[in-house]
Amino acid sequence: MNDLEQRAHDFADKAHAAIDHKRKYTGDAYIVHPEAVAEIVRSVAHIPVMVAASYLHDTVEDTQTTIEEIEEEFGAEVAELVGWLTDVSQPEDGNRAARKAIDREHSAQAPAQAQTIKVADLIDNSLSIMAHDHKFARVYLSEKEALLDVLVRADPILLARARHILEESLRTLAQGKD
């Protein structure tokens, strides 16, 4: 791990820990999710700013961190990626379906590097939700199928992997294997 990546990891860990942010189903320290996303990104062609943004991808959305702080600490390139990875919808934008449509349109406009990280995030979250919450998985996987349709610039290897995971998960749910 290079210096930028290590600093991003440590910053994200501290930001999530400061609000006692835990993984929903396991209670693990939240950093395990950004670590998993970073490892998935590392499995395909990438540059260090992508790994750094992978660690930081939920900090603006879920903690007190601002995009300005990300830019100050990690530079414009990392901040831009984190901006693309941060949901833009607000509660007042409507129900879950309406908000997801707004966020999906935002992701559709994202550059290839951000879309690749988004797919890595989708992969890790899909695996976690399938392992722990089949009821919510039915809603989540449907949303992620629609999201994958717009992430056309993402790394093709990760896109294929994500589609395979979603197909297998939906097949499992259809067969009632809880």
Q: What is the set of active-site residues?
A: 61-62
CA distance 44 to 178: 32
Residue 20, φ and ψ in degrees, nearest 5 = 55, 40
Sign of CA pseudo-dihedral 106, 108, 112, 114: positive
Residue 147, token pair as written in the block: 């999201």
- Report which of 3, 33, 2, 1 is spatially closest to residue 15, judged by C-alpha positions: 33
